[in-house]
Structure 1
Amino acid sequence: MTVYRLDHTGIVVEDLAAAIAFFVELGLELEGQASVEGAWVDRLIALDDAKADIAMLRTPDGHSRVEISTFQRPVSTAKAPWAPVNVPGIPRLTFMVDSVDDTFDRLRPHGAELVGEVTEYEDIYRYGYFRGPAGVIIGLVQELQASA
């Protein structure tokens, strides 16, 4: 059995419209939205009587997708931890961008918060971690020089 590709990454959020706006501002393209429910959903996620609204967004190159969803039922009272970057299992998505600083400036009005500092690795990359929807850590990487 061979893995063909990573199909998508999923994130559960409280405010689907705000999360869509965040990722569209980041540069992803909204592929579609739907509501899902029924026995197949209940079996898939091991929750009874589940109903979720989902949106699928894709990167401009068409190779990667992010699914964001919010559950109408059952409603969870658990809160995602705002753990530091070094905690095992912390969700993190990283995107290559043309400018870390400009991208962060565009995302700030959508709730993006800088985790540490934007730094540079030698003269190769400019890199920063930001909190996005539902506290997910978003990495932004900018190539400073063309790779050889």
Structure 2
Amino acid sequence: MTKSKLLRMDNMGIVVESLDEAISFFTELGMKLEGRGMVEGEWAGRVTGLGNQRVEIAMMVTPDGHSRLEISRFLDPPVVADHRNAPVNALGYLRVMFTVENIEETLGRLSKFGAQLVGELVQYETSYRLCYIRGPEGLLIGLAEQLAIDE
């Protein structure tokens, strides 16, 4: 029997209370809104295990077109847990990280949308400058700026 192979990662999902605020934030970060709509009905609940559901989603895509973020706002059934303010060492999926060109300029722009540094902006050897921020609704987001590559 031939082993199947992984083809790609389609998207990472995030659940929010305000879809509009999240779209504005990730647009400012540099992502593009690829589409927005409702996912509802019994068929969707068969996938998620939630039964009949109504979810408004927005699909955001990175400039290179390779990575997507699916932002969801559950209308029914209601949200049952909140992990947004969990520390970075909590179990489970916790954050998404983006590579940016100018990390200070990016931080300045995102601060206008309420983003706050979690710790400090640090440099890892000669490779990267890194930080974690809390974005819309306290979401944990990593930012990385790749420094000049040694030849």
Q: TM-score, normalised by structure 1?
A: 0.93
For the 8 Å contact 1:118–1:128, the answer to whether it is kept is: yes
Alignment partner, residue 146 of structure 2: 143
Is 2:74 the counterpart of 1:71? yes
Alignment partner, residue 17 of structure 2: 14
Q: What residue ranges of structure 2 are gaps of 5+ in the alignment?
A: none
Alignment partner, residue 3 of structure 1: 6
For the 8 Å contact 2:84–2:140, the answer to whether it is kept is: no
Write the distance in 2 (CA, Å) between the matches of 1:4 and 1:48. 29
**Aligned to 1:84, what secondary structure does the other structure show?**
coil
For the 8 Å contact 2:36–2:58, the answer to whether it is kept is: yes
Write the distance in 2 (CA, Å) between the matches of 1:76 and 1:30. 24
Write the distance in 2 (CA, Å) between the matches of 1:77 and 1:63. 31
The one-letter code of the counterpart of 2:28 is E
Write the distance in 2 (CA, Å) between the matches of 1:3 and 1:127. 29
- Give deviations 1:63-82, integer Å, cap 9, x for gaps: 10000010111112532251
The one-letter code of the counterpart of 2:116 is E
State the 4+ residue runs in structure 1 displaced beyond 6 angstroms.
none
Is 2:42 the counterpart of 1:39? yes
Alignment partner, residue 87 of structure 2: 84
Alignment partner, residue 58 of structure 1: 61
C-alpha change, 1:78 and 1:88, in structure 2 (3 Å) is closer
Alignment partner, residue 130 of structure 1: 133
Correspondent of 2:121 among 114, 118, 122: 118
Aligned residues: 148
